[in-house]
Amino acid sequence: MPRLSMPQREPQEKLQVILRHAAQVFCDKGYEGASIRDISRSSGISLAGLYYYIKSKQQLLYLIQIHTFKTILARLEKRLPEAATPVEKLRILVHNHLDYFLQHPVEMKVLAHEDEALEGAFRKEVLEVKRRYVKIALGIFEEMRRTGAARQLNPRVAVLTLFGMMNWTYTWHRSETDPKAGALAETIAGMFLHGVTNGHGNGSPRLVRPAAATLRTRRARADNL
């Protein structure tokens, strides 16, 4: 099956205007609650004009998602060669992710909330790009483990936990008071690294066992129930 592509018959600038308005409508009303007519009103483009560029609401959601993930991935792949260590690569990944999404909070919300709304070939292509992105993150974490910079944690759990920390920043981040992308990336990367790197504590937490007298008391109480 040939890959789906963005329409090329009209200038991309016009399509980007449509996508920005579509993202805002999806953000405000949710994908299911939004209509092409809502997007027409928001953008000021007639229904006939919209259908000249896109075929369906599904395609609009696809274009928003594929553009976002491809842009983030391309930016990351361009910057990673700058890093000399896997820890530096992780910091670049975090900064790249947050920097893009703090500049595009509407798209961030749509991606977070409408992850399951895409269907068929649209969904398959977006998932392929997302898997490439996660694979890069997993590779960075595995490299950290090989070099002794990270503990022996489940790589998938560690990486998806990191993405969970980053993907929901739109729910609390306030641009007028909270740190900008660079400082926020340092904070989140630091929080994550302190949880997975060596040298912070002594590995897995030790279980504290009750003293023998306490155990005897508990058993006695249990016997009297």
What per-residue confidence (pLDDT) applies to 215?
40
Tell me the pLDDT band of 199, cut-offs 50, 70 and 90.
low
53 vs 14: CA distance, rounded Å: 9
183 vs 185: CA distance, rounded Å: 5
What per-residue confidence (pLDDT) applies to 198?
60
Residue 8 has pLDDT above 80, yes or no: no
- The neighbouring-strand residues paired with 197 are 150
Q: Is 56 exposed, middle or buried (0-12, 13-18, 19+ CB in 10 A)?
A: exposed
Query: What does the pLDDT average to over 97-123?
Result: 91
Hey, where are the domains in the chain?
9-54, 66-196
May I ask the CATH architecture of the domain 9-54?
A: Orthogonal Bundle (1.10)
63 vs 70: CA distance, rounded Å: 10
What per-residue confidence (pLDDT) applies to 95?
95
CATH number, domain 66-196: 1.10.357.10
Tell me the pLDDT band of 61, cut-offs 50, 70 and 90.
very high
| pTM, rounded to two decimals | 0.77
Tokens of 6: 């963005």
Query: What does the pLDDT average to over 12-17?
Result: 86
Q: Is 11 exposed, middle or buried (0-12, 13-18, 19+ CB in 10 A)?
A: exposed
What per-residue confidence (pLDDT) applies to 212?
47
- The neighbouring-strand residues paired with 150 are 197
Residue 202 has pLDDT above 70, yes or no: no
* DSSP category for residue 118: -
- The neighbouring-strand residues paired with 199 are none
Alpha carbon 159 to chain centroid distance?
11
Residues 150, 65: contact at Cβ < 8 Å?
Answer: no
Task: Tell me phi and psi for residue 168, to 5 degrees.
Answer: -105, 15
Residues 161-171 pLDDT 10s: 999 889 888 88
Nearest Cα neighbor of 89 from 129, 178, 149 is 149
Nearest Cα neighbor of 169 from 159, 157, 158, 180 is 180
Identity of the highest mean pLDDT range in 7-21, 78-92, 206-220: 78-92
> pLDDT averaged over the chain?
83
Letter string b/e over residues 13-31, b meaning 16 or more CB atoms within 10 A of that residue's CB: eebeebbbbbbbbbbeeeb
